[in-house]
A = this chain, B = another copy of it.
């Protein structure tokens, strides 16, 4: 039986495995985590709205009924295309066909200083570390006597005007307004600054101009300071340096400014496109190797003269095409070119507010928010997850309470420099 290895159990890897299940191929799905993480809701984990475990689902549980698919939890260290082997931390495995769906990582554009002093939001660990940091800032500020330091502790800088940045900035504002002002009797909503920085001249660039305007209005109304055409050049533990020389005193820099392909891309030994992405043929295979397919955030393909965006719908649709193209090759049939069907996009901005552009229709405000809730709830894997997420959302909505505002032991290493007084978790291990 022909062996197919799929690297990555994100949206793309899972869909590829599902498409190949029961198709008389031997599929090995490899991921370094034993769970699939629903990335679009990471920002809610980071702002104490959901528990990390609620947006994750064990891969082995998902594939119970997928015949011919096995799972391996390991990190892939190298892809040896010459001998058709994948080298992992759990040993070496050979393949006839390979689908690389290893995804992306936070793009710091090579700036180590920013990488060290900022929080990304690409996985559960990031989200939990960010939650712990955000909440710690308020605990620390509550007993800080120096008003300048207190102001810096209460200033949160989010970089990147895409959906992640917009949703996160809105969620932090609401966490403060509805929950933290009750937790901290001395705290007033107006003492907290949430600043959203965007290097271009617009937020949510993928949406029509009217929805961008609605988003800006809403963010402003919520008290998020949006600064367009503003780029970040550097950071320290308590300062953010803007291009042009301005300095913002803040202990929290959240970096949602872009995605680049994972380092594994290097081991394919190809010239890579911008953002560490791998150029693929229209059928998603490599130009010099029709047995290797690249899908999702790691793939670089242009359509109508523009690169396809690094979003879940592209990844899922590409996974289906790549899997089908392998089956076509096995039957000595020609492969199909990938064609992205863009059904639209959306972002939530806070309680009762979202913007959505679906099937050519534009929504905003409450109707868009309801659509957003429904689509995200239904996209979660697992009945239990849907139910507990629904309950949390309902609870947070009706009680204005986010019960998961817990500071657990999982802290970013550099965070101990930022908050030396709160380094209490280290002794806990």
Measured CA separation A274–B35 after assembly (Å):
44
Q: Which residues from B are CB-within-8-Å of A142?
A: 72
Q: Say whether A241 faces chain B, with CB atoms less than 8 Å apart.
A: no
A410 and B407 form a contact (CB under 8 A):
no
Q: Does A89 reach chain B (CB closer than 8 Å)? A: yes
Tell me, in angstroms, the Cα distance from A147 to B3 when the chains sit together: 26
Partner of A33, one of B57, B140, B407: B407
Q: Which residues of B contact A270 (CB under 8 A)?
A: none
Contact A392 to B384, CB < 8 A, known contacts A74-B424, A408-B52, A427-B75: yes
Flag whether A151 is at the interface (Cβ < 8 A): no
Cα A425 to Cα B429 in complex, Å, equals 16
* Oligomeric state, in copies: 2
Q: Mark A404-427, 1 if CB is under 8 A from B, else 0.
A: 111111101100000001111101
A324 interface contact, C-beta 8 A = no
Please tell me if the beta carbons of A429 and B413 are within 8 angstroms of each other in the complex: yes
Inter-subunit contact B422/A403 (CB<8 Å): no
Given the complex of chains A and B, what is the CA–CA distance between A405 and B405 in angstroms? 22
Contact A406 B53 (CB under 8 A): yes
Given contacts A143-B90, A421-B90, contact A403 B73 (CB under 8 A): no
Say whether A286 faces chain B, with CB atoms less than 8 Å apart. no
Contacting pair A35 B406 (CB below 8 A)? yes
Which residues on B sit within 8 Å (CB–CB) of A392? Answer: 384, 388
List A residues 43-81 near B (Cβ within 8 Å).
Answer: 51-54, 56-58, 60-61, 64, 72-75
Interface residues of A in 364-390 (CB under 8 A from B): 382-385, 387-388
A404 — which chain B residues lie within 8 A by C-beta? 53
A222: Cβ under 8 A from any B Cβ = no
**Whose C-beta in chain B lies nearest to the C-beta of A45?**
B53
**Interface status of A395 (Cβ within 8 A of chain B):** yes
Contact B32 A424 (CB under 8 A): yes
Q: How far is the CB of A52 from chain B (nearest CB, A)?
A: 7
* Cross-chain contact of A56 among B32, B406, B412 (Cβ < 8 A): B406
What 0/1 readout, one digit per residue, does chain A (129-140) give for beta carbons within 8 Å of chain B? 100000110011
In the complex, what residues of B have CB within 8 A of residue A406's CB? 33-35, 53, 56, 58
Enumerate 14 A-B pairs (CB-CB under 8 Å) in ascending A order: A34-B139, A53-B403, A53-B404, A56-B406, A58-B405, A60-B184, A64-B182, A74-B143, A90-B140, A124-B409, A125-B409, A384-B403, A409-B410, A410-B410
User: Nearest 7 A-B pairs (CB), nearest first?
Assistant: A60-B183, A75-B424, A51-B53, A73-B139, A125-B409, A32-B424, A35-B406
